Amino acid sequence: MVRKFFVGGNWKCNGTAEEVKKIVTVLNEAEVPSEDVEFGIVILFEPHVTACNPSCDLGSLNLMHRLLFFFGSEVVVSPPFVFLPMVKGLLRPDFQVAAQNCWVRRGGAFTGEISAEMLLNVGIPWVILGHSERRSLLNESNEFVGDKVAYALSLGLKVIACIGETLQQRESGSTMAVVAAQTKAIAAKVSYWDNVVLAYEPVWAIGTGKVATPVQAQEVHLELRKWLHDNVGAEVAVSTRIIYGGSVTGANCKELAGQPDVDGFLVGGASLKPEFIDIIKSATVKRQQ
């Protein structure tokens, strides 16, 4: 099972309608590698290739599959709620749209909230949940985020679930304990992981310009994959995309993308700028591996 590179753009609480239209125009005009998933799979399952060509062993077939599969990125942009239908209507069809939050259960008398049902009703397939800004500013607990993820998934939404430690937690050596507890609260409520992308976003790196080093990111991503292996299952550990977020830019994305367990990015500030296209293109680093 191979993981498709994933690039999310979290526009947060930014933009006017005019600015949002301009960003969409840049995205629509960008030349980015196209998706090659089916082609890769066709080659992988051609049994006569090995039969007729003894020099083509299974190892090189797998390599061919990887090379082709990683040709493009899955791209999902997340505008503020009020711009969701407009962006969905204007955006190229090979890119998708995510909401930045949704209510924890079925809608009703919850003033100011947007329900998962409403997102689906207007054709929004993805939602970001558990972002650190909501955890810290709006007191969303691990359990509340776990409930939200489970409810959104149960309706058929795909979820970008965010986790990450504060600077204080990192400095006290509890990074892994913190992200494991956040992931555990999700895993306790979720049994089907195909529609989950796990976004590791160290709080100290968000909006600060202090990006995690490739080694720091890889270390946590690998530990998370091991955690998934030991606590959820081997298949989920291998197939779940773990993406990095926190001061990702056009300048630092390639080095981060080169890490084996970094399967893409969740980008804040730089997703509002043309350099987001360079970040989307960093998937090509995987092609060369």
Ligand X SMILES: O=C(CO)COP(=O)(O)O
User: Closer to ligand X at the Cβ: 68 or 199?
Assistant: 199
> What is the chain's alpha carbon radius of gyration, rounded to the nearest angstrom?
19
Binding ligand X by CB under 6 A: which of 182, 247, 252, 282?
247
Per the annotation, the verdict on 131 as an active-site residue is yes
Asked whether position 272 contacts ligand X by CB under 6 A, the answer is no
Query: Which residues, 6 or more positions from 81, have their beta carbon under 8 angstroms from its beta carbon?
Result: 99, 100, 114
Write phi, then psi, for 124 (nearest 5 degrees): -95, 120
Closest CA to 72 of 126, 31, 36: 36
267 binds ligand X (CB under 6 A): yes
Residue with nearest beta carbon to ligand X: 268
Residue 257 near residue 283, CB atoms below 8 Å: yes
Applying CB under 6 A, the span of 106-114, 151-159, 225-233, 263-271 interacting with ligand X comes to 263-271
221 is catalytic: no
Q: Does 252 bind ligand X (CB under 6 A)?
A: no
Among 79, 146, 202, 268, binds ligand X (CB under 6 A): 268
Tell me if 130 contacts ligand X by CB under 6 A.
no
Catalytic entry in 131, 133, 165, 221: 131
Q: Which of 65, 133, 201, 221 is catalytic?
A: 201
Is 163:182 a contact under the CB 8 Å cutoff? yes
Closest CA to 97 of 8, 25, 161, 21: 8
Nearer to ligand X, 206 or 237 (CB): 206
Least distance in angstroms from the C-beta of 261 to ligand X = 18
Applying CB under 6 A, the span of 55-63, 112-120, 219-227, 242-250 interacting with ligand X comes to: 242-250
| CB of 40 closer than 8 Å to CB of 68 | yes
Q: Indicate whether 269 belongs to the interface with ligand X (CB under 6 A).
A: yes
Strand partners, 244: 200, 265
> Which residue bears the tokens 């890119």?
95
Rule CB under 6 A: is residue 264 a binding residue for ligand X?
A: no
Nearest approach, Cβ of residue 244 and ligand X (Å): 9
Q: Cβ–Cβ contacts within 10 Å for residue 56, how many?
A: 13
Q: Residues with Cβ < 8 Å from 143, sequence gap 6 or more? A: 185
For ligand X, which residue of 147, 165, 201, 261 counts as binding (CB under 6 A)?
201
Contacts with ligand X by CB under 6 A lie at 10, 131, 201, 206-207, 245-248, 266-270
- Residues serving a catalytic function are 131, 201
